[in-house]
Every structure is written in C-alpha cells, then in structure tokens.
Amino acid sequence: MPAAIRELNTDQRHTVLASFLGWTLDAFDYFLLVFVIGEIARDFHTSPTRVTTALFLTLAARPLGALVFGRLADRYGRRPVLMVDVVLYSVLELACAFAPSLSALLVLRFLFGIAMGGEWGIGASLAMEAIPPSARGLVSGLLQSGYPCGYFLGAIAYWLVFDHFGWRGMFVVGALPALLVLYIRHKVPESPVWQEARKNGTQVSARVAMRGHWGRFVYLMALMMAFNMFSHGSQDMYPTFLKSQLHLGTGEVTLLTLLLNLGAIVGGLAFGAWSQRIGRRRAIMIAALLALPVIPLWTHGGSLAMLGLGAFLIQVMVQGAWGVVPSHLNELSPDAVRGTLPGFAYQMGNLLAAITATAQSWLAARHGGDYAFALSLWIAVVAVLLALLTRFGPEARGIGFGRAAASGDSAT
C-alpha cells in the first residue's frame, strides 16, 4: 500500500473509497446503455441512431447537474447532497427498465444526465477536502480511475445479465449503486473544510465567492474542453476504426478495449501520484506530449500485439493526464464554490467537446474512410493544445483548504 494511503486515518479512507465508488458506479450506469443500443432500437422499432440521442442528452444534461448539485453541496454539505445524488441516478436508471417508449427513455436519460453531472464534482471535493495535501496526487489518480473501472463493471454486467434478462434487466442491475448510500451514511463524515466554513460563518454566495475568479472559470472550462477532446478523441471512434477499417472481430475488439481501459487505470494512478512530486502542470504536459510518439503504434501497429500495446500506452498517457484533474481543479477552486466550480467546469468542457466524434467521422470521410488518419491527427493536435493550455495556466499544488496554511506550491 502506498505511503500516502497508509497515512490516512479511517475516516479519510472511507471518504476516498466512497468517492471512488460513486464515480465508478456512476460510469457503470452510464455505460450500460452503450451495450444495448441495438436491442433497444429493435424493441421500439426505430433506428440505433435515434437511440444514441439518449447518449447526447445525458452528456448535455451533465453541466446542469454539476451546477445544481454543486450549489446544493456548497450550501448544505457534500455528504448529504452526494447521498441524494447517488439515490437519484440509481432510481432513474431503474426507471429506464420500465420505459414504455423511446420518448420516455430519452426523458429519463436526460434526467439521469443531471444526476450524473452532479456526482463527480461533489465526490472529488469531499475527498480532496478530507485528506492531507500530500495525498492529493495519488488520490486524484485513484478517483479518476473510477471511470474505466465503471466501464469494466458494465462489460461484466452485460456478459452476466443480458442473455438471461435482456436490456431491461441491465437497467434493473443499474439500481444497485443506491446501496452505496448506506455506506456513506454510516462510514463517511462531512467535509471538515465545509464544516469549518459553516461554523465560522464564512460561507458566501457563489457570486461573491467567484468575484475576481471568473477568468479562472473560463480558463478551466477551456482546459476541460481540451481534456475531453483528448479522452473522447482516443476512445469513442476507436471501436469503429477497428471494425470498419481493420475488419477485426468481436473478440479482438473486446481484447483491445480491455487493454485500453487497463492502460487508463495504470496511467491515472501513476501520473496522479507523480504530480505530487513534480507538479500538476508538469505531469499533465509530460503525459500529453508523450502521447505523440505512441500515435503511430496506436493506429498503425500492423499486428494485434502491436495494436494492443498502442492501445494500452495511448491510454496510459491520455488518462495519465486525466489522473491529475481532480486535485488540480479542486486546488484552483475557492473554498466557497469547491462543490460547484470543478464539476461545472468539467461538465461544460465536456459539452464543448461533444463535437469530437462527429469531427473525427467527417475527417475520416474526407480521406476515404481513413479513421487511422482522423484519430491520429486529432490526438496529435489536441495533445499539443492541452500541453500549451496547461503550460500557461495557474497551479496551486498543495495549497491549504479552509483556514489551513498553504503548503507546497502556491497558486501561480
């Protein structure tokens, strides 16, 4: 066990675990739909393209959820709002199992997106405010690795449940994350930073707290747009590239996808922990720029083994950069809006990056269906953009939260 984790007390470990599981199970519920788009289309006598509207609606609703639940968390506490949020997205996932029509399903997925948008920001702020500054880097990578872990769980649920209970059974399983609330209720304390602010009467409105920080919000939104273009650009069209251009079978695509997610977990943990030593910006820039020499192996590996190595390494770099995000965004956020600002900036950046798959498809079509060209060009450009945005942005590694004295680097 890493030293940074061994130094945490029991309450802090429970808080980190709950925040990790919250994001993991949130992603798990999101990915369940991805596995059953074709079956839903057949049941509702429509096209898969219309069903994919549900994915867009979920992503479009996430900024709203980040704003609404974030403000509630800043006002009423991280812990109770996180519990409400987990119950809400679990109940909405269960309701999808009983959707009588595609229209009803689309409405439910939009509402699910609101709940999904709230979880990341609240969970990250609760964890970051509970742990010592020295543990933020490793815990940041751990929290972010919850997303590929959620993908893994979704794949396992599909394998175990779908053949026996169909797509509706998948959504019934998606209600299980609600059990996490019992764990949070009994094991996870409220954020000490939030409690301190409430006790001392230092809580202020979002408008007052953001005074002088609006430029930083715009910067963080642009940074998260680049981050989401980086991750979605390396993931969303990758299976299409493998199937339509390389003509790989289901088993080969599944293997490469598993290697991709394994690389994501390794990268998030490694670079998140490393950022504690070398700084948030430097870790992000190194991960982004190291993606460049991996691109030829990723898209032009020539054999399944080389493609697998490329898939693994590209996600080590992509999610390595992402592993720094929870700590970096929380350190750059004022205390009074830490429940709101990181999650809202994240989800707004995600919304701005929603054009990624469409743009890559257009690039491929313009070059005779060459997805290798489209993916390679996109990742190369975005990697450089991300490195530049990070280089000229602020950093606050190790800054104190609440009244705690700053340790490590101060904001620059």
pLDDT tens, residue by residue, 356-390: 877 888 888 899 889 899 999 999 999 999 999 99
The reported pLDDT for the residue numbered 79 is 87
The reported pLDDT for the residue numbered 207 is 66
Q: Is the model's pLDDT at 208 over the cut of 90?
A: no
Q: Is the model's pLDDT at 339 over the cut of 60?
A: yes
Q: How high is the mean pLDDT of the chain?
A: 86
| Alpha-helix residue ranges (DSSP H) falling in 36-77 | 37-43, 48-51, 53-76
Domains of the chain in sequence order: 3-391 (1.20.1250.20)
Q: Is the model's pLDDT at 412 over the cut of 70?
A: no
Closest CA to 299 of 288, 316, 320, 313: 313
pLDDT in tens, 118-142: 888 888 888 888 888 888 888 899 8
Average pLDDT over residues 315-320: 95
Rounded Cα distance, 155 and 66, in Å: 26
Query: Contact at 8 Å (CB) between 125 and 342?
Result: yes
The reported pLDDT for the residue numbered 408 is 40
Share of the chain above pLDDT 90, in %: 33
Average pLDDT over residues 42-54: 85
Q: 17 or 204, which is more confident?
A: 17
Q: Is the model's pLDDT at 406 over the cut of 50?
A: no
Task: Give every CB contact of residue 390 below 8 A, 6+ residues apart in sequence.
Answer: 223, 281, 284, 285, 288
Task: Please give the model's pTM, rounded to 2 decimal places.
Answer: 0.81
Average pLDDT over residues 38-44: 87
- Cα separations (Å) of 206 from 40, 214, 322, 328, 347? 42, 11, 27, 20, 18
At residue 72's C-alpha, the angle toward residues 106 and 84, to 5°, is 60
Rounded Cα distance, 101 and 154, in Å: 23
The reported pLDDT for the residue numbered 209 is 59
Q: Is the model's pLDDT at 410 over the cut of 50?
A: no
The reported pLDDT for the residue numbered 204 is 57
Average pLDDT over residues 47-55: 81
The reported pLDDT for the residue numbered 391 is 96
The reported pLDDT for the residue numbered 403 is 59
Average pLDDT over residues 3-21: 83
The reported pLDDT for the residue numbered 158 is 82
The reported pLDDT for the residue numbered 210 is 65
Task: Give every CB contact of residue 190 below 8 A, 6+ residues apart in sequence.
Answer: 77, 78, 79
Lowest mean pLDDT among 21-30, 258-267, 318-327: 21-30
Residue 299 binned pLDDT confidence (cut-offs 50, 70, 90): very high
Residue 181 binned pLDDT confidence (cut-offs 50, 70, 90): confident
Rounded Cα distance, 182 and 141, in Å: 25
Average pLDDT over residues 138-151: 88
The reported pLDDT for the residue numbered 4 is 65
Q: Tokens for 231?
A: 């991750």
Q: Tokens for 280?
A: 């948030």
The reported pLDDT for the residue numbered 71 is 86
pLDDT in tens, 101-118: 999 999 999 999 999 888
The reported pLDDT for the residue numbered 153 is 84
pLDDT in tens, 388-405: 999 999 988 878 776 553
